[in-house]
């Protein structure tokens, strides 16, 4: 059995990874969340990794609250940058592989075509900056590592899909931003990529999102169509929404490294959300 340590095991992606690798078979899990392992403490990380001697570490832990990161700067960098650094050091010291999850927020969102892994980064805020710092630490201290940037993730937990369905119960019309575009990606689809890459030596930086793209308003309309809701979507601008923190207007990622190095392809976002909602 290949031993795997999963951090952030109670999050949407952590749960999906557990399910997908269980289906694959041949893996033994050490599941950790903040209560079991403080990834910001190098001594604690080294102690656990030395004890388990895993085949791989899958880092699903992150400080993902974009607004909170702007005021909780120290914790953002501890969790999103120092944590991956510690896991990289421990993985390299024990010969384990490291699977690290990053984000579209490493880009400035001013793109005019889908971002590839070769495009220059330029995060807009603390969340993106701290996640980019985490990537750099993995590249510097890691040995056999995979970095996967993903976007607009939804799965088993609180997410945009469930928020829209909840609001539709008490609203005939919901205001949704239409000037931010990206690729909604199910945790199941991302977990399938993780399971695909993990046994391979195809290391490095990858983009991992579902195929196709839409605005948040388009996504909401598709959610309501699939669920048979009659709730109307009122399209508004980001400015009208009044977000406290700037978010990338253009978050479409091209899974270019997967195209160049493998025959692996993600499902289209329409198919992924349909499958997700069937299982709700």
- Active-site positions read 127
SS (H, E, C) 156-219: CCCCHHHHHHHHHCCCCEEEEECCCEECCEEHHHHHHHHHHHCCCCCCEEEECCCECCEEHHHH
Dist CA 132 CA 123 (whole Å): 8
The candidate with the shortest Cα–Cα distance to 154, out of 93, 64, 35, is 64
Distance of CA 277 to the CA centre of its chain: 19
Phi then psi for residue 36, to 5 deg, are -90, -30
Q: Rounded distance, CA 143 to CA 257, Å? A: 19
Please check whether residue 220 is in contact with residue 166, taking contact to mean a CB–CB distance below 8 angstroms: no
Residue 154: φ, ψ to 5°:
-145, 150
Cβ proximity of 265 and 219 under 8 Å: no
């Amino acid at each position: 059995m290949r031993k795997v340590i999963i951090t952030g095991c109670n999050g949407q992606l952590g749960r999906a990874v557990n399910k997908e690798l269980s289906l694959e078979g041949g893996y033994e899990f050490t599941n950790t969340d903040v209560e079991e392992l403080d990834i910001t403490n190098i001594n604690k990380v080294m102690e656990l990794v030395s004890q388990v001697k895993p085949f791989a570490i899958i880092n699903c832990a992150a400080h993902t609250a974009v607004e909170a990161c702007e005021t909780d700067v120290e914790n953002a960098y501890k969790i999103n940058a120092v944590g991956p650094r510690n896991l990289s050091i421990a993985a390299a010291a024990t010969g384990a592989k490291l699977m690290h999850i990053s984000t579209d927020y490493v880009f400035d969102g001013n793109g005019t075509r889908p971002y590839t892994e070769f495009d220059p980064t330029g995060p807009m805020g603390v969340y993106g900056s701290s996640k980019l710092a985490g990537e750099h630490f993995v590249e510097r201290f890691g040995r056999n590592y995979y970095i996967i940037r993903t976007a607009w993730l939804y799965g088993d937990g609180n997410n945009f899909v469930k928020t829209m369905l909840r609001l539709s119960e008490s609203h005939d019309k919901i205001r949704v931003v239409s000037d931010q575009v990206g690729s909604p990606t199910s945790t199941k689809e991302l977990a399938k990529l993780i399971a695909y890459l993990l046994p391979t030596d195809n290391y490095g930086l990858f983009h991992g999102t579902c195929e196709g793209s839409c605005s948040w308003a388009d996504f909401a309309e598709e959610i309501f169509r699939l669920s048979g809701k009659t709730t109307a979507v009122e399209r508004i601008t980001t400015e009208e929404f009044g977000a406290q923190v700037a978010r990338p207007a253009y978050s479409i990622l091209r899974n270019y490294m997967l195209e160049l190095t493998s025959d692996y392809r993600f499902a289209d976002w329409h198919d992924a959300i349909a499958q997700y909602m069937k299982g709700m």
